[in-house]
Chain A
């Protein structure tokens, strides 16, 4: 029983950063903006979170710094693509490159320093309940944030008027503009929200997952988050499912190896990617629904005529 709980906890830790970054990017893409800079914003969040946590000794301040760092960094993307109408793909890619380089430079003096770790939740009485206690009441704070965030985004996008407006902008910015909606303002806020989420995901890496700073520590997780959004056909609950399937197969294959299952490790290593894609493609196989969910003006620059 204990091993099952441990495995589930490990899966949650592996899935959380993917989920948070993907949910943020989902909102951005729903507003019609394609930001490929997730990896860059994530690593900036990681370095910002670690350094603030290390310097102040408080991982909570680190957490806030991670969010702020991601948001500020995404503002750069917003100014370029929204105010200056640059190409979103190129700008997003350069944001990733810039983030990887800049974070390495900023983090030089923190390499080889152990950092502060965000403590796990510990509610007297509840956390000690066998099996479900640790799963429900004993995880790291960011895990709870990630679940709340997913629920919040689902509610916001599909149950609120503002959410509807945001989706309509993503579908046709010219129509939205003609209706008098402030397209650019909505998009600015979405991009910054996405940046804050990516920053938080990075903070999870450097404050919970592996409390340390090393260059490139995101190791491609930003790209996985991006892929999750597309394969989940822009639906929040599918992103949640995708992140956890990925996490489960990711951890499962490590256990399979440790257990001594005679399958080539290279194949096992590629399983998380394969499994996630297959499952998400299967659940999004209804073409019409997928078309409906795809933001029609995704990636197109918008220049309002005056």
Chain B
């Protein structure tokens, strides 16, 4: 199924390439998305970044993208196809594209590759990521203030470090306000299935949670919160239109500035494989306006946001692991490598990490 889709899309891309072959000298920048650009979530935000590149660099670049590319070995073909079609820089936007990109990057040394949220690099493969966990700490604080039952429902996709880090950061934020705060965690094993996300939200609300947090991509969970008169947080995009009374804030991504700078670097011939991890202070992680909360909660959220922008890391000790063994000493800050490979919970998380 997906293979056929990819083949069809690649064929379409080939046609469009033929049509623009006359317009020489343009740098071709390409993107590979794991979801549809119409998800109004993660892939949508990356595509907004692509459009920003087009806007900023005008006729110096042309862009192309493949959407709905499944993670894993299937992705090889997508990257190889783009490389053969003359893409000079290719952005792979999902964790599961890591090994395919490493493989294809080796085959095409003249093409620059960039991989989001992974950890493998090479001479022509750079990595970039956003510190979403910074925002999740703020979500945790707000949740603990707003929740009456003291229980949040947390909908998650896959047990990868990115997601585990988010859960931990959320819990640290929540515990800083209410040490007894609990989160019920449901793994839906999908980045994108609105129906399942809605079902998970209903299950969590039925079991006593009154705030919903998600690390999946659709607006479905927030809509359930709106219907039930409860609250929650948006993800990737500002979802206030779907839940005008329920959305407290949304953890949004803005990839535009990074993409523009990287494509520019290729144009100027200064591109080098990088390893950047952008956060609130770089403007890559943005909080949507704080709504539907009292002023003191809003003030607290803004203060924390400023503190993080000024360089404070939510993973600052003392922090113990789930089983109570100490992890970070007082004042000690977690290093990026540990965070990027995070495979354990901090104290207070009420879940067994799927392996």
Residues of A within 8 A of B (CB): 3, 6-7, 10, 13-14, 93, 96-97, 100-101, 104, 107-108, 111-114, 205, 209-217, 219, 221, 250-251, 254-255, 257-260, 262, 264-266, 269
Contact = CB atoms under 8 A, between A and B. Distances in A.
A214 B38 contact: yes
Residue from A13, A97, A217, A258 whose CB has the most chain B CB atoms within 10 Å: A258
Contact of B207 (A100, A259, A262, A266): A259
Residue from B68, B186, B237, B241 whose CB has the most chain A CB atoms within 10 Å: B186
Contacts of B193: 219
Residue from A14, A213, A217, A265 whose CB has the most chain B CB atoms within 10 Å: A265
Given A111-B38, A112-B237, A112-B241, A214 B202 contact: no
A251 B241 CA distance: 27
Nearest to B68: A216
B223 A265 contact: no
Contacts of A254: 186, 188, 196, 199-200, 203
B5 A97 contact: yes
Contacts of A213: 38
Interface of B: 1, 4-5, 8, 35-40, 44, 68, 153, 184-190, 192-200, 202-204, 206-207, 209, 218-220, 223, 237, 241-242, 350-352, 354-355
A209 B198 contact: yes
Contact of A14 (B185, B188, B199, B352): B199
Nearest to A263: B352
Contacts, number: 132
B207 A258 contact: yes
B189 A266 contact: yes
Given A257-B187, A258-B203, A217 B194 contact: yes
Residue from A13, A100, A221, A260 whose CB has the most chain B CB atoms within 10 Å: A260
A251 B195 contact: no
A264 B159 CA distance: 11
Contact of A212 (B36, B189, B199, B223): B223
A262 B219 contact: no
B206 A7 contact: yes
Given A107-B38, A112-B237, A262-B352, 16 more contacts: A14-B199, A104-B36, A111-B38, A112-B44, A113-B241, A214-B218, A216-B68, A217-B195, A255-B203, A257-B187, A258-B153, A258-B200, A259-B207, A260-B184, A264-B354, A265-B189
A220 to B, nearest CB: 8
Given A114-B241, A211-B223, A258-B207, A264 B153 contact: no
A260 B350 contact: yes
B228 to A, nearest CB: 10
15 contacts: A14-B195, A14-B199, A97-B5, A101-B5, A114-B223, A210-B198, A219-B195, A250-B196, A251-B203, A255-B207, A257-B203, A258-B184, A258-B207, A260-B351, A266-B354
